[in-house]
Chains A and B, each alone.
Chain A
Amino acid sequence: EVQLVESGGGLVQPGGSLRLSCEASGFTFSTYWMSWVRQAPGKGLEWVANIKYEGSEKNYVDSVRGRFTISRDDAKNSLYLQLNSLRVEDTAVYHCAKGGHLDSWGQGTLVTVSS
């Protein structure tokens, strides 16, 4: 059974940083693209970024490019999202998802950006 467990969310001031983690199990992590998707409170889904197996390709939505960095550690079956220069509008639940086409999702971790 595929399991994705996110962690690392919390309350941070504007301009601050956080590092989100996603621990994966139940599939061969190193052979899959992995993705991050976020959902602001009461709003719809927004694709944020993805990363190819081996980390050889990374893609971002324009609103986070240059501020967020996606990475992975295949030895630890883990996906990461480094969030820098955070803005109030980055407040959301951040989900990791298996594959480039999001075939399984984790429950998410809440990031709140507020002064």
Chain B
Amino acid sequence: DIQMTQSPSSLSASVGDRVTITCRASQGIGNDLGWFQQKPGKAPKRLIYAASTLQGGVPSRFSGSASGTEFTLTISSLQPEDFATYYCLQHNTYPYTFGQGTKLEIK
């Protein structure tokens, strides 16, 4: 199975900060990666697909990038509603696998 190593597992930041979350795949997955946001008690929501394409309706402060097997989610200026848990997902090879999650908390 492809392992998705996500870091950090938790992150404290302030409104207005720029934050970066990284997922590293254990083997090549092309750009077959998505980023998801989950708030407590809610269903996950897709933010980014194909590594860098913004889902419709998602604010432009979210962006994704890829370099080889390393993928990055960046939030350019944190807003109060962005405090949540974030997951990456590879959908290149079965079984599809998620990263362990990054809990973004208010400092």
User: Does B associate with A?
Assistant: yes
Binding site for B on A (CB under 8 A): 37, 44-47, 50, 59-62, 95, 100-108
Report B-chain residues with C-beta under 8 Å of the C-beta of A108: 43
Tell me whether B98 and A45 are in contact (CB under 8 A): yes
From the candidates B38, B49, B99, B100, name the one contacting A101 in the complex (CB within 8 A). B49
B14 in the interface, Cβ–Cβ < 8 Å? no
Q: State whether A101 and B44 are in contact (beta carbons under 8 Å apart), knowing that A44-B101, A47-B97 are contacts in the complex.
A: no
Instruction: List B residues 56-107 near A (Cβ within 8 Å).
Output: 87, 89, 91, 94-101
State the CA gap A9–B95 with chains docked (Å).
Answer: 24
Neighbouring B residues of A59 by C-beta, 8 Å = 94-95
> Which residue from B36, B43, B89, B97 sits with its C-beta under 8 Å from A106?
B43
A72 CB to closest chain B CB (Å) equals 18
Closest residue of chain B to A45, judged by CB?
B98
Per the bound structure, the CA–CA distance linking A106 and B99 in Å amounts to: 20
A46 to B43, CA, bound (A): 13
With A44-B87, A108-B43 given, name 13 new contacts (CB 8 A): A44-B100, A45-B38, A45-B44, A47-B96, A47-B97, A50-B96, A60-B95, A61-B95, A101-B34, A101-B49, A104-B46, A105-B43, A105-B45
Please list 16 pairs of residues, one from A and one from B, whose beta carbons are closer than 8 Å in the complex, sorted by A's number.
A37-B44, A44-B99, A44-B100, A44-B101, A45-B101, A47-B95, A47-B96, A100-B91, A101-B46, A101-B49, A102-B44, A102-B89, A102-B91, A103-B55, A106-B43, A107-B42
Question: A-B pairs with CB below 8 Å: how many?
Answer: 50
The closest CB in chain A to the CB of B1 belongs to A62
Cα(A59)–Cα(B96), bound, Å? 10
Q: Please, how many angstroms separate the alpha-carbon atoms of A61 and B93 in the complex?
A: 11
Q: How far is it, in angstroms, between the C-alpha of A90 and the C-alpha of B49 when the chains are bound? A: 28
